[in-house]
Every structure is written in structure tokens, then in C-alpha cells.
Chain A
């Protein structure tokens, strides 16, 4: 089973800052990695799929990169609505798993 480790657990930044979130896989997942955003009381929302493709309606300030075992989600300039929890997810064969999440909080 592929384990995803996200870092840091919590990231404290201010609006306008650049955010860099990491996700490391215990074995190669090629480019089969996605990022989700979740706000309190809401279902997750797909942001990035296949490591670097923005989902429909996702602003250009969100970008993803990486392949193999190391991946990054970058938010170029934080907006107030971006403060939330972010999860990476991988898929391999017929199984999926999530990382434990990174909480992006207002500094």
C-alpha cells in the first residue's frame, strides 16, 4: 500500500503570501496524484489532478508539480478563501489513498 506523507502539518501564512505544500509517496505513483481542498463543514473539492492539471473552475493561482514520489501544490498569492485543509491523493491499480492533510491557516 502506498503511503502519502504531507508536510508541513500546519502552514501559517498571510494573504498575498506564496504557499508551498508537499506530498511524498512511499513508492512511485508516476503522475497519478491529485490535490483537494476542504473547508470546515464542506465536502472536499478537487483542485489538481494527474499532478499538474487544474480541475474545472480552479483559479490559476493554484498549480501542481512533481512526479514519481515528490509532489508540490503551490498557491502563488493567497486569497482569504484559500485558508483550508489540503489533501493529496494517489491512485495505483484499483486502490487510492490520501495523505494526512496540511492545514493552511492565517498568520
Chain B
């Protein structure tokens, strides 16, 4: 079945960076975009960006441009989200989610389990 499985929880100090992985299975990896969404404790959902594993193109929310990098590894069907210059308000659960549309952008229908990133000195 289609699924995306994320890496485990991380703790970082302010100013550090974190890299979260999202491993896809059950479908043709290169055919579907992967999005990243985060949710701070008790807060709403925040879209961070999207990557096309089939061609490498990316789009990042303006808020994260310059701090986020999304990459992929076709050999392991894994997408990565790297966030740098971490601050305490980056503490959140980070989700990856597969797009609904093959080779295009649609909506987010297969979600990972979430990865808690805690930023604390």
C-alpha cells in the first residue's frame, strides 16, 4: 500500500540544523510530488514547501526561503527536508505528505506519521 514513513524525533540547539527524512513505498517514487507541513504545539498547519522527485524542482514558502532545502534520493525512494538556523519557534511536528496527482500538483492525501523536532538550549 502507498505509505510514507518519516525518521524519528530530533532535539537540536538554537542555531543548529536538522534533516528529516521521508521514505516512500507502494508507488512509483518519481511520479508524485512530496510536500512538507509543520505544526507547532497547539497550533495550526503550516505549509513549508514541495519537491518533485521526478525532476528535482522545488517550491518553498516565502517564510522559509533561505533556511529550508528539500532533496531526494531515488535509489532509496527518500525525500529529505533540511532546516537550518533553528530557533525555539521551529519546535514543531514536521509532516511529509504525498501529492494526489501523478506528475502534477494537487492535494495532500498520504501523510507520514510526523517527526517532532524540539529546539532548546
Give the residue of A46, A96, A98 whose beta carbon is less than 8 angstroms from that of B100: A46
Asked if B114 and A43 sit within 8 Å, CB to CB, the answer is yes
CA distance A100 to B100 in the complex (A): 23
A80 neighbours in B (Cβ, 8 Å): none
Q: Which residues of A contact B (CB under 8 A)?
A: 1, 34, 36, 38, 43-46, 49, 55-56, 87, 89, 91, 94-101
Apart from A98-B44, A98-B46, list 4 A-B contacts with CB within 8 A: A36-B108, A87-B45, A89-B107, A94-B105
Given A1-B62, A44-B111: A49 and B106 interface contact (C-beta under 8 Å): yes
Q: Which residues of B contact A (CB under 8 A)?
A: 35, 37, 44-47, 50, 59, 61-62, 95, 97, 100, 105-109, 111-114
Of listed A1, A36, A43, A91, residue having the most chain B CB within 10 A: A43
B100 neighbours in A (Cβ, 8 Å): 46, 49, 55
Specify the main secondary structure of chain B where it touches its partner.
strand
Which 7 residue pairs of A and B lie closest in terms of their CB atoms, listed nearest first? A94-B59, A43-B111, A96-B47, A98-B45, A49-B107, A46-B109, A101-B44
Give the residue of A1, A45, A55, A100 whose beta carbon is less than 8 angstroms from that of B44: A100
